[in-house]
């Protein structure tokens, strides 16, 4: 593993004892590099699935790194670069498969292609959504947990991953920018031309949005 430090040095021998050719490595961890685990699984001939692209500690909250380097867009770009390096014959790796996006994406794609064969490319999916008049897909989550202690004014109760909410609070805010949008938020920058993704030079916890 590359740059794994003491955490990776402890994980690698354990994985070698358990992961064999034909197995599937399911990664539900935090602060363990997804890319290093994908490479490891590929070398062992094992398939791989995770819920989010995780780096080793010291990336999302590192003020010494350039803002753009701490974005989810760059994490996904590195994953795509690894896929090209490993090649089409490598074992399957399903990356960043959470609930939303992830499971929600499956539902949306199934709804879009209610009839006929599925599109074969990203461009064909975009064309299908455009032809159907779909511009935005909003996935809302409802918290059904109940407590006998009412929330105090100004109190925030986290029902999600503690590590996840801390990472996303300090990461730069990112915005998917489609053809239906008419205005860019002040201070936003494109990751690259035609990427369809903007990032702001401020963390998520300091960004307010109206929806």
Q: 21-36 pLDDT, tens per residue?
A: 999 999 988 888 999 9
pLDDT value of residue 40: 94
Final residue of a domain: which of 94, 118, 149?
A: 94
Q: Using alpha carbons, select from 102, 132, 100, 133 the residue that is nearest to residue 115.
A: 132
Has residue 57 got a pLDDT over 90? no
Asked if the structure places residue 156 within a domain, the reply is no
Question: Can you tell me whether residue 44 is helix, strand or coil?
Answer: helix
30 is a domain residue: yes
Answer with the one of 94, 120, 151 that is the final residue of a domain.
94
Q: Which residue has the tokens 């590099």?
A: 33
Please report how many Cα atoms fall inside a 13 Å half-sphere around the Cα of residue 114, on the Cβ side.
4
Indicate the burial class of 49 (C-beta count within 10 angstroms; 0-12, 13-18, 19 or more). middle
Domain count, the chain: 2
Q: What are the backbone dihedrals phi and psi of residue 200, each rounded to the nearest 5 degrees, phi first?
A: -105, 150
Task: Report how far Cα 33 is from the mean position of its chain's Cα atoms.
Answer: 13
Of the pLDDT bands very low, low, confident and very high (cuts 50, 70, 90), residue 92 is: very high
- pLDDT surpassing 70 at residue 8: no
Domain termination residue (choose one: 78, 94, 110): 94
Domain with 20, as residue range(s), is 5-94
In tens, the pLDDT along 103-156 reads 888 889 989 987 778 899 989 998 999 999 998 888 877 778 778 888 899 888
């Amino acid at each position: 593993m590359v740059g794994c430090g003491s955490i990776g040095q402890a994980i690698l021998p354990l994985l070698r004892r358990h992961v064999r050719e034909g197995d599937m490595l399911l990664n539900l961890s935090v602060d363990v590099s997804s890319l290093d685990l994908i490479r490891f699984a590929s070398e062992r001939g094992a398939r791989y699935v995770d819920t989010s692209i995780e780096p080793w500690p010291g990336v999302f909250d590192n003020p010494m790194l350039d803002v753009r380097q701490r974005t989810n867009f760059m994490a996904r770009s590195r994953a795509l670069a690894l896929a090209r390096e490993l090649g089409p014959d490598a074992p399957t790796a399903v990356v960043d498969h959470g609930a939303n996006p992830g499971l929600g994406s499956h539902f949306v794609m199934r709804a879009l292609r209610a009839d006929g064969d599925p599109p074969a490319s990203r461009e064909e999916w975009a064309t299908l959504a455009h032809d159907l008049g779909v511009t935005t897909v909003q996935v809302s989550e409802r918290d059904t947990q109940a407590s006998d202690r009412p929330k105090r004014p100004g109190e925030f109760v986290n029902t999600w991953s503690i590590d996840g909410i801390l990472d996303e609070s300090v990461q730069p805010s990112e915005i998917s920018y489609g053809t239906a949008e008419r205005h860019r938020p002040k201070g936003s920058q494109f990751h690259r031309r035609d990427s369809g993704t903007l990032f702001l030079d401020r963390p998520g916890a300091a960004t307010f949005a109206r929806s």
